[in-house]
Amino acid sequence: MKLSAMPESPLPASRLTSRPAIDEASDQPLSRKIENLDALAAILPALAGPDRTDQLVALLSEEDIATLRHLASEGIGENSLRALTSDCSYLEGWCLAATGDPLPWPAPVPLILKFVAHHLWDPERRKAYPAHGIPEDVALALEDLKLLRKAKGDGAHRQPHAHSTVQRRLASWSTLHRWRGLEGAFSAPDVRSALRLASRVAGRPKVRKSRRAVTADLLERLLATCNGSDLATPSLADLRDKALLLAGFASGGRRRSELSGLRLSQIIWEEPLPADPADPDSPLLPAASLRLGRTKTEDASDDNAVLLIGRPVEALKTWLEAANLQEGAVFRAIDRWGNVKARGLTPQSVNAIVKSRCVLAGLDPAEFSAHGLRSGFLTEAANRDIPIQDAMQQSRHRSLAQASSYYNDAGRNRRRSARMLG
């Protein structure tokens, strides 16, 4: 199957910047769509704002919005709902640009194949054959809809999407089918074959969310920036960031959404535990359990508590006492005057804190993100020869393959097979 042989868009880009014909044909008035979107925005603040609402009203059908509201009422995680909303609006915009019609339900196999062909292609072949990959009029229409970043130079220099992005959007498309009570063809042999072949030529190797892992030695450099200076004691921001870094790493490398969403009610202060579990007479260290609740891979009903011992617990207590926090969010915003706000940090703020501490530690912030705490935990566990099953109990990874990738990377420098001619 040649993925570049898909048909061109039937409409010029100038006609694909909105969906007035679809809205006029709808049985539901425009005001009903706006009202339902406002109700959804109350659950998902990221959807709030007139520009975002206008975009979603133009892209999403009444049925799309009803499906998303149903998912929200079912208690789907905020991040997952945000991704589904974004993917649904992109799919609707792409289908209109590529075919001139709104997204059909259920989606036929040829349309799914067209989506793959428009997003995964050979960059070198496109330089010689501009028709290869996404048609330029479709790309320009998506740019006008603010669904695609504007390309530098001409269309021949466009880049395919990351394979992980395409897979996520196909997974979202499949999820939306299931919640509409429909059967999608996303596991059809032709679709699986197209994805496999396209991923080989797209030229976009998988990149980790954080280029470098925050291992124990790097973590100590970040923590050193939280100790204040010779002339000043640590500020509230220093105490918060120290607790966030220590707790985020030691709890298995918590995701930034889990750190920003952590509440005091999720912390259970435990009895002190011996520093050496094999020696009950060893010094006692403070301990606490974190009840993670709903995470990316686990439901709230799962027993997904993790244990903190020693320095992370001390740092948490110091921060909570200094900020005088009794309930609500554990990690909170602090204004320029040092006042602790009632609202918790956002996931983006957690990422910004990690990067700002990297700058203070003399590290390149472009090399690190909040996910470096997660990859760093597993990498450090591998470096210390901690069994992977033990590490996964703390990180709450459900995929052995995913967790073992960090172990494999960490063990590269110690492999005897690489030293046979050394």
**pLDDT (tens digit, 9 = 90+) per residue, 162-208?**
888 888 899 889 988 888 888 888 888 888 888 877 776 655 555 55
- CA of residue 414 relative to chain centroid, distance: 32
Residue 22 has what pLDDT? 37
- Give the ranges where 298-338 is alpha helix by DSSP (H): 311-323
Number of domains in the chain: 2
Burial of residue 88 (number of CB atoms within 10 Å: 0-12, 13-18, 19+)? buried
Residues 196 and 228 both lie in one domain: no
Q: What percent of the chain has pLDDT over 90?
A: 27
What's the whole-model pTM score? 0.60
Residue written as token pair 């501009």: 130
| pLDDT, greater one: 63 or 137 | 137
Among 110-124, 169-183, 203-217, 250-264, the least confident range: 203-217
Residues 193 and 220 both lie in one domain: no
- Considering 312-316, 384-388, 416-420, the range whose residues carry the highest mean pLDDT is 312-316
Q: Is residue 343 part of a domain?
A: yes
**Enclosing domain of residue 170:** 3-201
Q: Are 379 and 395 in contact (CB under 8 A)?
A: no
Mean predicted confidence (pLDDT) in 338-344: 89
Residues 323 and 220 both lie in one domain: yes
In this structure, how many other beta carbons lie within 10 angstroms of the beta carbon of residue 148? 20
Where a domain ends, among 201, 234, 268? 201
Residue 8 has what pLDDT? 41
Residues 72 and 106 both lie in one domain: yes
Residues 7 and 95 both lie in one domain: yes
| pLDDT, greater one: 106 or 415 | 106
CA separation for the pair 251, 316 (Å, rounded): 12
Residues 241 and 375 both lie in one domain: yes
Residue 297 has what pLDDT? 54
Where a domain ends, among 152, 176, 201? 201
Residue 42 has what pLDDT? 54
Residues 278 and 347 both lie in one domain: yes
**pLDDT (tens digit, 9 = 90+) per residue, 53-89?**
667 767 777 788 777 777 776 667 677 777 888 898 8
Where a domain ends, among 201, 232, 261? 201
- What are the structure tokens assigned to 173, written together? 């498309």
- Binning pLDDT at 50, 70 and 90, where does residue 95 land? very high
Mean predicted confidence (pLDDT) in 336-344: 88
Residues 259 and 191 both lie in one domain: no
pLDDT of 222 over the 90 cut: yes
User: What is the CATH classification number for the domain harbouring 304?
Assistant: 1.10.443.10
Residue 347 has what pLDDT? 87
